[in-house]
């Protein structure tokens, strides 16, 4: 098969599946993994896919859920920046919730030496924090999802009935001015909605690729969130609308400064979708 034809079929495969690992593609097209990586590099240069070490994915589609094993290799430095900016909102002795996002994993790494109680459904976070002597770790169980490396389902949501937290740090699939905070899969949406209800403060941790998009399921509007923490500066329109809804934006401004926690108004809201 000619390289151009193979790349066309690779793109069609990724378009259908939304995210595909390199070994799968190598087997599918009977070529080496190195050949697939070269093909993905070409497709990325053409703006057709987003490439990571483990595979590739696309952002399009309201029901697009990218495998966490592939997401973990994307925008790593951006996620570290967000994690560093999020740390100021966590204080010694706090009880917090970290969700199943790859960005939350980077935040867990930032917090591993603090004296905290951490609730999470994220197995990589559990494995990371289980080695910390200062973390009191509470695992929210349920049905294990190998594509998300996390626990989910009705059991997971029911377990949350036993807890309230000072702060929660959640990601999402998409964020738009018109439609608020949205996600692709019902089981993760329900979980995040319940966590927001049980948090004194909730923070959305999301990199720049998630803005200006809308996914299948609505999680909440910005008035339910204390602050949105991101890696790149947002436009004045975002500041105007989120300011109207009482949601702060934590970003780097054009002077290189990042807004501090003491600059934020005190807030406690739990306005989310109801079944």
Q: Where in the chain is the domain with CATH 3.40.50.1360?
A: 76-263
Q: Which residues of 96-117 are buried (b: 16+ CB within 10 A; e: fewer)?
A: bbbbbbbbbbbbbbbbbebebb
Integer Rg of the chain from CA:
19
pLDDT digits (tens, 9 = 90+) for 217-273: 999 999 999 999 999 999 999 999 999 999 999 997 544 455 555 455 444 444 444
Which string of DSSP letters, residue by residue, matches 67-94?
Answer: -HHHHTTSSHHHHHHHHHHHGGG--TT-
Which residues is 116 bridged to in the sheet? Answer: 135
> Lowest-pLDDT range, 51-55, 147-151, 190-194?
51-55
Short-list 136, 142, 188, CA closest to 165: 136
Quote the CA–CA distance of 249 and 259 in Å, as a whole number.
8
pLDDT at 71 over 70: no
Quote the CA–CA distance of 235 and 243 in Å, as a whole number.
12
Q: Which fold does the domain 3-58 belong to in CATH?
A: Arc Repressor Mutant, subunit A (1.10.10)
pTM for this entry? 0.74
Q: How confident is the model at residue 56 (pLDDT cuts 50, 70, 90)?
A: confident
Q: What is the pLDDT of residue 165?
A: 97
Q: What is the pLDDT of residue 266?
A: 46
Q: What is the pLDDT of residue 62?
A: 46
Q: How confident is the model at residue 274 (pLDDT cuts 50, 70, 90)?
A: very low
Q: Where in the chain is the domain with CATH 1.10.10.10?
A: 3-58
Q: How confident is the model at residue 70 (pLDDT cuts 50, 70, 90)?
A: low
Give percent helix, percent strand, percent coil of the chain, each to the nearest 5: 40, 25, 35
Q: What is the pLDDT of residue 269?
A: 44
Quote the CA–CA distance of 7 and 13 in Å, as a whole number.
10
Q: What is the pLDDT of residue 268?
A: 46
Q: How buried is 46 (Cβ within 10 angstroms: 0-12 exposed, 13-18 middle, 19+ buried)?
A: exposed
* CATH placement of domain 76-263: 3.40.50.1360
User: Tokens representing 174?
Assistant: 């998409």
- Which position has the token pair 């979980």? 191
Q: How confident is the model at residue 73 (pLDDT cuts 50, 70, 90)?
A: low
Average pLDDT of the chain, as a whole number: 85
Could you tell me whether strands 135-139 and 116-120 are parallel, antiparallel, or unpaired per DSSP bridges? parallel
Quote the CA–CA distance of 114 and 96 in Å, as a whole number.
12
pLDDT digits (tens, 9 = 90+) for 112-163: 999 999 999 999 999 999 999 999 999 999 999 887 889 999 999 999 999 9
Q: What is the pLDDT of residue 242?
A: 96
| Residues of the chain above pLDDT 90, percent | 54
CA 224 to the chain's CA centroid: 17
User: Tokens representing 169?
Assistant: 């740090």
Q: How confident is the model at residue 63 (pLDDT cuts 50, 70, 90)?
A: very low
- Which position has the token pair 């959305």? 204
More confident residue, 249 or 49: 249
Q: What is the pLDDT of residue 259?
A: 55
């Amino acid at each position: 098969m000619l390289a151009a034809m193979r790349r066309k079929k690779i793109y069609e495969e990724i378009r259908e599946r939304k995210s595909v690992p390199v070994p799968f593609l190598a087997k599918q097209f009977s070529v080496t993994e190195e050949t697939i990586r070269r093909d993905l590099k070409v497709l990325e240069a053409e703006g057709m896919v987003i490439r990571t070490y483990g595979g590739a994915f696309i952002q399009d589609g309201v029901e697009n859920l990218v495998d966490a094993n592939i997401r973990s290799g994307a925008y790593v430095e951006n996620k570290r920046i967000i994690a560093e900016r999020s740390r100021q909102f966590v204080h010694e002795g706090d009880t917090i919730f970290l969700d199943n996002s790859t960005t939350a994993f980077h935040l867990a790494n930032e917090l591993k030496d603090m004296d905290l109680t951490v609730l999470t459904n994220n197995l990589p976070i559990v494995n990371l924090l289980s080695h910390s002597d200062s973390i009191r770790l509470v695992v929210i169980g349920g049905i294990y999802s190998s594509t998300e490396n996390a626990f989910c389902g009705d059991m997971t949501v029911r377990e949350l009935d036993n807890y309230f937290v000072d702060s929660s740090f959640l990601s999402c699939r998409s964020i738009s001015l018109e439609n608020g905070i949205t996600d692709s899969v019902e089981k993760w949406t329900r979980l995040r909605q319940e966590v927001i209800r049980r948090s004194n403060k909730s923070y959305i941790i999301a990199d720049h690729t998630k803005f200006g998009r809308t996914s299948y399921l609505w999680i909440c509007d910005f008035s339910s969130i204390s602050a949105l923490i991101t890696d790149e500066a947002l436009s004045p329109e975002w500041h105007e609308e989120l300011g109207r809804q009482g949601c702060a934006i934590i970003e780097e401004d054009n002077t290189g400064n990042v807004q501090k926690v003491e600059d934020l108004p005190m807030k406690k809201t739990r306005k989310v979708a109801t079944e």
